[in-house]
């Protein structure tokens, strides 16, 4: 445990410290903090104590291990949905490389490399509203082949699910299914008009009902208010996912959010820390945006509530080399 973080150097806000300690106790006693308490936490300037508290909660409930995951973009672009942040939407001209579903051999090669580089799980991600039947069958075959040839956890992200498809994925040995809520319910219509928030919640529930682990998070920095960031966190806590990815918007040329104002690194650290108070036991994974926003590549975030990272690149942007990330994790005294 890194209890040193619990000693604040910020004398000007020391009156807030008892409040933060009180909430740490509350979380340790398995009590949910309230929205107002979360908002007061988010408003603090005493970031050291806040981050230290989130770190203490992380270590208590999740130990020292950092979940390191690799992604492969198995089918890129031409998605019929209009999510405003997404370079893969067919609504926007973003200049990304588009391609149909990759063959099994390529996906096995990606999984092998991920394992070799030290990742503990591998996520096969496709840009669909939901895959056509032929593609779904091909994805199932690829999953079986990966499971038979590479010793790595296989996760998938394929868009909306039906109960039958979710059960099929479970029967193939898929561990976790990713489907994000993306943003707060009260902000969702500003971000997407081709489907609604409830469609996303429904897929989250279908995934859990099928016995798959649920990976469900969102993107911050899309113009939502701090309160809406908390609204999203409480909605995620209600769904009780095994993993919550926090993406930080990287504005992409050609998308409606290309001129969006950026969050500061401090806003992001505070959000991660407060999300940890709200969801003490989940894997809180820093996903897209880490390399852009954190000069230290996320070291501090991993000591401020996060206990997972995506490594080796994202769907349409490059990322860190896995080896470098694993060295960084060990340097700060954590494990993979
Ligand atoms: S559904 Fe997924 S892939 Fe399609 S536009 Fe939205 S975020 Fe992008």
Q: Considering only CA atoms, which residue is closest to atom 2 of ligand 1?
A: 127
Substitution site in 89, 128, 181, 188 for ligand 1 pocket (most atoms within 8 Å of beta carbon): 89
CA distances from 200 to 33, 71, 115, 197, 215 (A): 25, 21, 30, 5, 12
Q: Which pLDDT does position 51 carry in this prediction?
A: 94
Site of tokens 């993993």: 243
pTM of the model: 0.88
- 59-331, CATH topology level: TIM Barrel (3.20.20)
In three-state secondary structure terms, 74 is strand
Region of residue 262 (left: phi > 0; alpha: psi -120 to 50; beta: else)? beta
Q: Is 58 in the pocket of ligand 1 (CB under 6 A)?
A: no
State how far the Cα of 173 lies from the Cα of 56, in Å rounded to an integer: 33
Per-residue pLDDT of the chain (336 residues; tens, 9 = 90+): 333 334 334 444 445 588 999 999 999 999 999 999 999 999 988 899 999 999 999 999 999 999 988 888 899 998 999 999 999 999 998 888 899 999 999 999 888 888 888 788 889 999 999 999 999 999 999 999 999 998 889 999 999 999 999 999 999 999 999 999 999 999 999 999 999 999 999 999 999 999 999 999 999 999 999 999 999 999 999 999 999 999 999 888 889 888 777 788 899 999 999 999 999 999 999 987 787 787 777 788 999 999 999 886 655 555 557 778 888 888 888 888
Q: Which pLDDT does position 122 carry in this prediction?
A: 86
Q: Which pLDDT does position 7 carry in this prediction?
A: 39
Site of tokens 């503990």: 120
Q: Is 86 in the pocket of ligand 1 (CB under 6 A)?
A: yes
Backbone torsions φ then ψ of 259, nearest 5 degrees: -105, 15
Q: How far, in Å, from the CA of 198 to the mean position of ligand 1? A: 15
Tell which atom from ligand 1 comes closest to the C-alpha of 192.
Answer: 6
Q: Is 79 in the pocket of ligand 1 (CB under 6 A)?
A: yes
Where along the chain do its domains lie? Answer: 59-331
End-to-end, the C-alpha distance of the chain in Å comes to 16
Q: How far, in Å, from the CA of 128 to the mean position of ligand 1? A: 7
Q: What secondary structure letter does DSSP report for 310?
A: E
Backbone torsions φ then ψ of 321, nearest 5 degrees: -70, 140
Measured at the alpha carbon of residue 196, what is the angle toward residues 97 and 233, in degrees to the nearest 5? 90
State how far the Cα of 234 lies from the Cα of 32, in Å rounded to an integer: 10
Q: Which pLDDT does position 16 carry in this prediction?
A: 56
Contact 201, 172 (CB under 8 A): no
Q: Considering only CA atoms, which residue is closest to atom 3 of ligand 1?
A: 127
Three-state SS annotation for 311-333: CCCCCCCCCCCHHHHHHHHHHCC
Q: Is 81 in the pocket of ligand 1 (CB under 6 A)?
A: yes
Q: Which pLDDT does position 95 carry in this prediction?
A: 86
Q: Which pLDDT does position 6 carry in this prediction?
A: 40
Q: Is 250 in the pocket of ligand 1 (CB under 6 A)?
A: no
Tell which atom from ligand 1 comes closest to the C-alpha of 87.
Answer: 8
Structure tokens given for 69: 């995951």
Q: Is 74 in the pocket of ligand 1 (CB under 6 A)?
A: no
Q: Is the dihedral of CA 264, 265, 268, 269 positive or negative?
A: negative
CA atoms within 13 A on the CB side of 122: 25
Q: Considering only CA atoms, which residue is closest to atom 8 of ligand 1?
A: 86
Nearest CA-CA partner of 286 in 305, 266, 260, 267: 305
Three-state SS annotation for 108-143: HHHHHHHHHHCCCEEEEEECCCCCCHHHHHHHHHHH
State how far the Cα of 157 lies from the Cα of 154, in Å rounded to an integer: 10
Region of residue 182 (left: phi > 0; alpha: psi -120 to 50; beta: else)? left
Substitution site in 88, 182, 219 for ligand 1 pocket (most atoms within 8 Å of beta carbon): 88
């Amino acid at each position: 445990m890194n209890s040193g973080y619990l000693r604040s150097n910020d004398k000007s806000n020391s009156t807030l410290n008892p409040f933060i300690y009180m909430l740490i106790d509350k979380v340790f006693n398995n009590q949910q903090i309230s929205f107002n308490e979360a908002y007061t936490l988010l408003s603090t300037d005493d970031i050291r104590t806040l981050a230290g508290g989130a770190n203490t909660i992380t270590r208590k409930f999740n130990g020292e291990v950092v979940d390191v995951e690799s992604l492969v973009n198995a089918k890129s672009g031409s998605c019929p949905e209009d999510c405003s942040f997404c370079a893969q939407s067919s609504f926007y001209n973003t200049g990304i490389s588009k391609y149909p579903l990759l063959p099994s051999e390529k996906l096995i090669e990606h999984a092998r490399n991920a394992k070799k580089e030290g990742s503990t799980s591998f996520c096969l991600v496709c840009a669909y509203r939901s895959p056509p039947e032929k593609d779904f069958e091909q994805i199932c075959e690829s999953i079986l082949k990966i499971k038979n040839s590479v010793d790595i956890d296989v996760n998938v992200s394929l868009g909306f699910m039906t109960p039958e498809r979710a059960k099929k994925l479970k029967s193939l040995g898929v561990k976790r299914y990713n489907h994000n809520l993306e943003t707060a319910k009260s902000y969702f219509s500003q971000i997407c008009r081709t489907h609604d928030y409830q469609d996303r919640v429904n897929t989250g529930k279908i995934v859990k009902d099928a016995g798959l682990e649920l990976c469900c998070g969102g993107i911050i920095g899309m113009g939502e208010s701090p309160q809406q960031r908390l609204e999203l966190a409480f909605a995620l806590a209600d769904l009780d996912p095994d993993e919550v990815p926090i993406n930080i918007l990287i504005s992409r040329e050609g998308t409606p959010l290309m001129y969006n104002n950026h969050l500061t690194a401090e806003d992001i650290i505070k959000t991660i820390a407060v999300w940890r108070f709200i969801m003490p036991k989940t894997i809180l994974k820093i996903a897209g945006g880490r390399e852009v926003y954190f000069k230290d590549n996320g070291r501090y975030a991993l000591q401020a509530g996060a206990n997972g990272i995506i490594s080796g690149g994202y769907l349409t942007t490059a990322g860190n080399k896995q080896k470098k990330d694993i060295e960084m994790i060990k340097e700060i005294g954590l494990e993979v």
